[in-house]
Amino acid sequence: MVEEEEEEEEEEEAKNPFEELLTPEQADTARTEITVDDKKRFERSRMTAEVSLALINTPGSSFIYPTISTPGAGPSTPAPVPTGDSNLRIRTLRFGQYDIDTWYDAPFPEEYANIPEGRIWMCEFCLKYMKSKFGAGRHRMKCKARHPPGDEIYRDDKISVFEVDGRKNKIYCQNLCLLSKMFLDHKSLFYDVEPFLFYVMTEVDDVGARFVGYFSKEKRSPKDFNVSCIMTLPVRQRRGWGNLLIDFSFLLSKKEGRIGTPERPLSALGALSYRNYWTLALMQYLRTGPERVTVQSTFRSLRYPSTFIVNPCVTFRYQCVYVHGTRGRGRDAAGARHDWLPG
């Protein structure tokens, strides 16, 4: 009896479970078996990939992609002076239609330390980052986001500003901090984003609200700081976006009934941006303001602490500034366009 049961089990194992659906030719798996030639081809591919990764991690090697520019786009701000560390884990960021050379290393997960060619892809709407072109293409087909999360609190023609809460949209804000770290040397906030609000400026077209830049600030600042971090994408710089972001930060302070100031000390690029903004703002006020003005009346009208403007932000000694009657410092943040009330 035992021998008969064993024979029946062997017959069941040898029986093709799909013989009622497939012919013997269709059920034959001999053509898909791994052969010696297959193993050799795999080993050759593996060795080629390891050599490529070794070249990427070798100090002094460079894989630089030129920045893609759109017709009519202004020149981007030159990268800062290299710090001596040329072995960045991520050297190129693919953001929308742009290839952007990164300036600094960002604390991405360890799995992104040896990505091919040192390039990372990031969705310009939801800011999800990926390490392959294939993954980015799949994400682009499935991603339904066409603007930043949060509330749209400002709209002027094609320009929109979204207020994003770090507690409600934690992943987006963390990715935003990682994005800014690739272009800011002194950026230290990456994952603890709950106490902050992020104001994302976008330019709207037929596809969606495309990312331009942002600034963040603490929800409750005992020193009335209105900016903790500010960043404009390199491909968007030198077109007035930085001044508009700064102007909008002071518009928020006016709505809150406060005299705001950015966190200090300022970085080199931050000091340059604020110096340019306040030079033009003061000159424009003196040009269009009352005939008789005083220093204190000027500061009260601009709602800004005099100590920061005079030292160290703006110095007018031996300086001549011409403010165009219509263009001025570019587009200003219009208070009438701001749909928001302080809570």
Cβ(199)–Cβ(180) below 8 Å: no
Active site residue 117: no
65 CB burial (10 A radius; 0-12, 13-18, 19+): middle
Cβ(61)–Cβ(94) below 8 Å: no
How distant is the alpha carbon of residue 200 from its chain centre?
Answer: 10
Q: Select which of 111, 152, 263, 291 is catalytic.
A: 263
Angstrom distances, CA of residue 5 to CA of 8, 10, 12, 14: 5, 9, 11, 14
SS (H, E, C) the chain: CHHHHHHHHHHHHHCCCCCCCCCHHHHCCHHHCCCHHHHHHHHHHHHHHHHHHHHHCCCCCCCCCCCCCCCCCCCCCCCCCCCCCCCCCCCEEEECCEEEECCCCCCCCHHHCCCHHHEEEECCCCCCEECCHHHHHHHHHHCCCCCCCCEEEEEECCEEEEEEECCCCHHHHHHHHHHHHCCCCCCCCCCCCCCEEEEEEEEECCCCEEEEEEEEEECCCCCCEEECEEEECHHHCCCCHHHHHHHHHHHHHHHHCCCCEECCCCCHHHHHHHHHHHHHHHHHHHHHCCCCCCHHHHHHHHCCCHHHHHHHHCCCCCCCCCCCCCCCCCCCCCHHHECCCCC
Catalytic site residues?
263
